[in-house]
Amino acid sequence: MSGDDASASRASPAGAGDARPPAASGRPPVAAVPRGPVAVPALVRRTLPGRELVPVWVNQVGGTTWRAEDAAGPGLHAKWAPAGSGLDLDAEAERLGWLAGRTPVPAVEALVRDDAGALLVTRTLPGRSAVDPRWLADPVRAVTAVGAGLRALHDALPVDACPWTWSAQDRLARVRPDVDDDVRAELARTPDVDRLVVCHGDACMPNTLLAEDGTCSAHVDVGALGVGDRWADLAVASWSTAWNVGPGYEDLLLEAYGVERDAVRVAYYRALWDAGP
């Protein structure tokens, strides 16, 4: 939801985004590719001296992702979370370590902090975000790749070995204080689990990277990854198509995943997502 892990090799909206459409909560999504100068935190400069730092994403809570360029060294991305932002980069680094060798994700290079915030440095991956202009110009291919990539992620990851949860019950404990009692009562009526998988946790289009052939090459922004019903991911992934490429693509994503639309679970998990922090 706070997506800002731009770990692809290009600087367009690569690697992160909030799947929440503007109308869902009444709060406009402000995570975006920066359109002007962005101040570089001192921690970023100290950790990546001598590199050209290109801002590629700014999220809703003031965090920024930078592409660190150096012709003599490996490509890196640096995700900075200001102190007090609520972004848990330790959780993301742990999940990236667990995912290594199981599915393509960025490799962690460093995790450092100071009084102003924390910084997660990862190795840049090849590919472009599914919302890169290259793929927005070919939405059928992009949406198909996101759906197929999500299915591959769910099929690849071992539920029994995953140490984290993203179940509806656990997420209900983190519902925002401003959510009214009627909504809370509805959310307490959790649907039966369709299929337990290791969920991405923010399976929106910007967090899927695509190779040049239009297939899914990797996933990024995995800080919420954990075991839950696959519809927790599917509801958000299909929802994000409406925001990122326009109406009419939700069922295409589900078809590419290999499942028919479950209207009850889609509605429930979107409501739970919208009630979250």
DSSP string, 198-243: EE-S---GGGEEE-TTSSEEEE---TT-EEEEHHHHHHHHHHHHHH
Three-state secondary-structure class, residue 270: helix
- Spatial separation of the C-alpha atoms in residues 232 and 269, rounded to whole Å: 5
Q: What is the dihedral of CA 256, 96, 270, 197, to 10 degrees?
A: 60
Please state, in angstroms and rounded to a whole number, the distance separating the CA atoms of residues 274 and 156. Answer: 28
Among 157, 92, 76, CA closest to 124: 76
Q: Are strands 208-210 and 216-219 parallel, antiparallel or unpaired?
A: antiparallel
Residues identified as active-site = 202
Sorted by sequence, the CB contacts under 8 Å of residue 262 that are 6+ apart come out as 194, 231
